[in-house]
Amino acid sequence: MTDSAIASPGIDVKPRLSTDDLVMRGFIILVGLWMIVVVLLPLYFMMSKSFQDHDGNFIGLANFITYFSTPALTYSINNSFFVAIVSTLITVTLAFTYAYALTRSRILGKGLFKAVALSPLLAPSLLPAISFVYFFGKQGIINGLLGGQSIYGPIGIIMGEVFYTFPHAMMILIIALSTADARLFEAASSLRASRFRTFVTVTLPGVKYGLISALFVVFTLVITDFGIPKVIGGQFNVLAVDIYKQVIGQQNFEMGAVVSVVLLFPAVVAFIVDRIVQRRQVAQLTSGAMPYDPKPNGLFDALMLLYCALIAFIILAILGMAIYASFVKFWPYNMSLGLSNYDFDVMDGGGWGSFMNSLQMASLTALFGTAIIFTGAYMVEKAKGFGAVRAAVQFLAILPMAVPGMVLGLAYIFFFNHPDNPLNGIYATMTILVIVTITHFYTVSHLTAMTALKQMDPEFEAVSASLKVPFYRTFARVTVPVCLPAILDISIYLFVNAMTTVSAVIFLYSTDTSLASVAAINMDDAGDIAPAAAMCVMILFACASVRLVHGLATAGLRRRTQAWRKR
Amino acid sequence: MKAPRLRPAQQTDSAIAASTREKAPLLNISENIKAPYLRIEHLTKKFGNFTALHDVSLDIAEGEFVCFLGPSGCGKTTLLRAVAGLDIQTRGKVWQGGRDISDLPASMRDFGIVFQSYALFPNLKIYKNIAYGLENKKLPRAQIAARVDELLQLVGLGGQGNKYPAQLSGGQQQRVALTRALATSPGLLLLDEPLSALDAKVRAHLRHEIKDLQRRLNVTTIMVTHDQEEALTMADRIVLINQGIIEQVGTPRQMYRQPQTLFVADFIGAMNQIACLSGGSGRAKIGALTVACRPHALGENLPGVLTIRPEDLIPKAAPRPKADAEPAGNDKTGAASSSGNSIEAIIRDMEFLGSIWRATLASTSLGDDRLQAEFSVNAVQRMDLAPGKSITVELPPDRITIFPGKQIQSDNQIRSDERIHG
């Protein structure tokens, strides 16, 4: 043992912070403040508005009482839940079977089937609604199939929502079904379990978290969607459209706020359930698990192939109809093809300027959004100490997922248009559109970034510190290049969603900053359904092109960095 | 009242670290000994309510190779990280090169570190990995290139600078991590279980390499390991840690031959443990047997543990059974008398290990405890030893150590609840 002549005093050591620590903490605080300004404060202002009258005086629950005693308004709650539940059940069943075919059978063309199934993501939500009008509307080509029912109303909404949410459900279920342990299936077969029994006792329990997640994600998407019920809802009122009607139609901002609060409830509940499920979905794969390699089975594979082909055909038909109809000069009287519907400048809705604005907005969203979100995620993940603040910022980053787009848009009106707000200069500019879109799609981007960052060796920063290299050098030279695939994924996600989104921006655009998706809605409102289809096709085209570039860039990137990537 | 802390104005982290390496005034010590390069004083580390390290004090001389050894969760990595400044201690002081670094963050200290996962930057070539710390110092390119080449040659990786880490084997990656840590000539080299991720043969080879390198560069080194063979072969001194406290510090020989606690005796190498009662200095009682042993300060009739290494047991031929001996119950060992440091035993089991035999012995004098012995191949042949045979083993008194307390349940210990059957 050693002799230490001086006994140390009994006071705790107070660690000094390095420059790196200070910079990281400063950045985290900035991100925290940013999130407060773009999420918390607007929501607070909106919720206070629901307790105020036209003049801004506090009137307690009076607005809510008015709301709940107006059957015309409260009936929307039933309607919203009805379409949401029915759509969810249909979508998840269809998507599960599709995902099952892609992961558990030996059919050919899986890559193609997956690409087709993901294509609805590239279109604004009102595109299927427009297609259905052409299929099943008064002058629709196969409207006999509906047996006399009108496409306008719950049928149209449900069909449209199923198309719109199908890719989301499929992606979640593919991941859930892919994490299968081959040994469980071998054990079941050696115990002579029938195919059905294996499905019920091995497959389903293995995907239960994925199923629950898919159910709640789809439910939230449907109940908060605006585009489809606006175009094809007819007299069937849902909550999202009610908000729009109250704010734009009736200029009754307070009632709009009340309906927003009502819409928040199912969204928040679904969000909480999904979070709990995500926590439980800790590595279901134990070490030693073998990946599942399905065996060829003639009849089963044939059925699955037929099923996938059918679904893919329907998806392509819906997209195809919108594209076709956009070229038809005057349906159904002049079926010759031409570009007259693309002459946006002569129509109400914003003209080609809206499309250019959308491209600009989407690019700015992708650029700034990726930078802010990825850097913020890095700071939260890699900073040392500062636990409480990091947890708070992490929470704020997850929060936007619980907020429906319409609610966010409305909240931004109340907050940024407030005369006393020093930031109100950004109202009615491109800036506010970019900010609301980044905020609306913050959570998924943030989680993608966190997943990629957690896969990096946790000691890079420690090595960097021991070599006296400031952390931002290592961030630029190591972290970003290694995470580049994830960064590209985040940027394409932001771009495509910015191009196709309607709900958040419908309240915040101005004549100078009108957007393509909003122009489509407005043209449809004015009865110009073919130009609305044309605008949707332009959006689809832009998204598909950028997606293609992204795919090529990612493949090229992987090839060039093959030398040092583990895979 | 706390003294105000003077923050060096506008000094960069690396400047502060560089000054740590300067020859600072020696610490206040009365002896005529050169001050230790690294001094840890009354270091305590708590994580919430859990105390990982309790009042740890240690001196390490310059150029020394020290191993922190201990079972999983004992606190050895925590201690290393406290020295590095990655997880600064709750209480206590750390001095490096005469300078108090207790509250400095890692970037202000002077060390290089190698982690178990190596943490090599995967997208940078080997050359860039090693040059990483050097490039930050704004040295001329030619100088950096020369240094990197020199280091690559030193570890036998000359000419491999243009490869990526993923293209190298585990052992090669390890060496790159080592050279990256040494490139900036730090005053202290910290290794956190650097060999755990490698397979046995590579590990044995790299042990020599690391030790050679360390000797050549004369860099003070601390290595954390749970493998006692690594510690015994590589370290100048071993620090054995158990549940947050230091059990013993000593050279490998000292740790093996003169363990100061039962934990040390049990952890390092194999050790027989027999429950006994102390019998005055130099004596112990196992049942009816009185055994001479090393001097101890335990007093009389206190419970203790008698320890002796397997290789210290000396085999002697069994005496002929006495004519008038009565079979005692289920006893098969014949003559009941084992006197002093000679024990009559029967061989229960033998394992052939190439150069030695490992034998498990049972004896009535020892009750249910078993003795494990190591016999040379020659001895076994000469005395024709085999399972079931009787044998006398001699326990040299100067090889027996008595510890207070109870036996430790561990893999090292030979315990059996079998009864001796007739």
**DSSP per-residue codes, B24-88:** PPPP--SSSPPPPSEEEEEEEEEETTEEEEEEEEEEE-TT-EEEEE-STTSSHHHHHHHHHTSS-
Intra-chain end-to-end CA distance of chain B, in Å: 76
Provide the token pair at A500. 């196709």
Question: Residue A490 in contact with residue A483, Cβ under 8 Å?
Answer: no
Tokens of A214: 């898919």
Side-chain half-sphere of A402: how many Cα atoms within 13 Å?
Answer: 20
Give the gap in angstroms from C-alpha A24 to the nearest C-alpha of chain B: 14
Task: Tell me the chain A residues in contact with residue B181 when contact means C-beta distances shorter than 8 Å.
Answer: 466
The residue of chain B with its CA nearest to that of A481 is B123
Measured distance CA(A380)–CA(A398) in Å, rounded: 13
**Is omega for the bond preceding A332 within 30 degrees of 0, making it cis?**
yes
Residues 6+ apart with CB under 8 A from A19: A470, B12, B13, B107
Q: Does the interface predicted TM-score (ipTM) exceed 0.90?
A: no
Give chain B positions within 8 Å (CB) of A16: 5, 103-105, 108
Q: Does A20 touch chain B (CB under 8 A)?
A: yes
Assigned token pair, B262: 């039962």
Cβ–Cβ below 8 Å for B106 and A18: yes
The alpha carbon torsion through B106, B108, B109, B115 (nearest 10 deg) reads 30
Q: What share of chain B is helix, strand, coil (3-state, %, to 5)?
A: 25, 30, 45
C-beta atoms of B119 and A463 within 8 A:
yes
β-partners of residue B290 are B285
Q: Are B341 and B397 in contact (CB under 8 A)?
A: yes
Reduced to 3 states, what is the DSSP secondary structure of residue B309?
coil
**Cβ atoms A132, A156 nearer than 8 A:** yes
Single-letter amino acid, residue A433: L
Rounded to an integer, what distance in angstroms lies between the CA atom of residue A46 and that of residue A39?
11
Nearest CA to A480 among A503, A506, A452? A452
CA separation (Å) from B8 to A377, A405, B15, B83? 32, 51, 10, 22
Confidence of residue B361 (pLDDT cuts 50, 70, 90): very high
Three-class secondary structure of residue B138 per DSSP: coil
Does A564 contact B42 at a Cβ distance shorter than 8 Å? no
Spatial CA neighbour of B34 closest among B5, B62, B68, B69: B62
With beta carbons less than 8 A apart as the criterion, state whether A263 and A406 touch.
yes
Interface of B with A in 62-81 (CB under 8 A): none
Min Cα separation A251/chain B (Å):
55
> Residue type at A255?
M
| A to B CB pairs, distance under 8 Å | 130
* pLDDT at B116 (0 to 100): 92
**Do the chains contact at B166 and A10, CB–CB below 8 Å?**
no
Q: Is B167 exposed, middle or buried (0-12, 13-18, 19+ CB in 10 A)?
A: middle
- B124: contact with A, CB 8 A cutoff: yes
Chain A within 8 Å of B347 (Cβ-Cβ)? no
Q: Is A250 on the interface with B (CB under 8 A)?
A: no
| A414 backbone dihedrals φ, ψ, rounded to 5° | -60, -35
- pLDDT, average across residues B87-109: 94
Exposure on the CB side of residue A121, measured as CA atoms within 13 A: 20
pLDDT of residue B23 exceeding 60: no
Q: Pick the closest to residue B392 from B309, B292, B325, B321 (CA basis).
A: B321
Nearest-Cα residue of chain B relative to residue A18: B105
| Cα–Cα nearest to B164, from B135, B195, B129, B197 | B129
Return the structure tokens found at A433: 């559109």
Q: Is A567 on the interface with B (CB under 8 A)?
A: no
Q: Is B112 in contact with A465 (Cβ distance < 8 A)?
A: no
Q: B102 vs A462: CB contact, 8 Å cut-off?
A: no
Distances (CA, A) of A16 to A500, B5, B309: 49, 10, 49
Q: Contact B123/A459, CB-based, under 8 Å?
A: no
Q: Which of B103, B109, B123, B164 to mutate to test the interface with A (most CBs of A within 10 A)?
A: B123
The contacts of residue A395 (CB under 8 Å, 6+ apart) are none
The alpha-helical segments, DSSP class H, found in B136-251 are 141-154, 170-182, 200-217, 228-234
Residues of A in contact with B103 (CB under 8 A): 13-16
Q: Contact A250/A411 with Cβ under 8 angstroms?
A: no
Tell whether A463 is within 8 A of chain B (Cβ).
Answer: yes
Whether B246 sits inside 8 A of A473 (CB atoms) is no
- Do the Cβ atoms of A80 and A223 come closer than 8 Å? yes
Interface test with A, best of B107, B116, B245, B254 (most A CBs within 10 A): B107
CA angle B114, B117, B122 (to 5 degrees): 95
What per-residue confidence (pLDDT) applies to A4?
Answer: 44
3-state helix, strand, coil in chain A (%, to 5): 75, 0, 25
Pairing relation of β-strands B220-225 and B65-69?
parallel
Tell me how far apart the alpha carbons of residues B98 and B20 are, in angstroms, rounded to a whole number: 8
Rg (CA), chain B: 27
Contact (CB, 8 A) for A459 and A414: no
> Using 50, 70 and 90 to split pLDDT, how confident is the model at B13?
low
In whole angstroms, give the CA distance from residue B269 to residue B137.
Answer: 46
Structure tokens at A554: 């990612």
Give, for all 567 residues of chain A, the pLDDT tens digit.
444 444 445 678 888 999 999 999 999 999 999 999 999 999 998 988 889 888 888 888 888 888 888 888 888 999 999 999 999 999 999 999 999 999 888 888 899 999 999 999 999 989 999 999 999 988 888 887 877 788 899 999 999 999 999 999 999 898 888 877 778 888 888 888 888 888 888 888 878 888 888 999 999 999 999 999 999 998 999 999 999 998 888 888 888 999 999 999 999 998 888 888 877 765 555 555 667 777 788 888 899 999 999 999 999 999 999 999 999 988 888 888 888 889 888 887 778 999 999 999 999 999 999 999 999 999 999 988 888 999 999 999 989 988 999 999 999 998 988 888 888 888 878 999 999 999 999 999 999 999 899 888 889 999 999 999 999 999 999 999 999 989 999 999 999 999 999 998 999 988 888 999 999 999 998 888 999 999 999 999 999 999 999 999 999 988 888 778 763
Check residue B301 and give its pLDDT. Answer: 84
d(C-alpha A147, C-alpha A250), whole Å? 36
d(CA A135, CA A317): 10
Identify all chain A residues contacting B186, using CB atoms and an 8 Å cutoff.
466
Task: Report residue A505 as tokens.
Answer: 């921006």
- What's the pLDDT at A194? 84
> CB contact, 8 Å: B165 with chain A?
yes
Tell me which of A386, A456, A466 to substitute to probe the interface with B (most B C-beta atoms closer than 10 Å): A466
Please report which confidence band the pLDDT of residue B137 belongs to, taking 50, 70 and 90 as the band edges.
Answer: confident
* Cβ-Cβ contacts under 8 Å, A565 against chain B: 122, 166
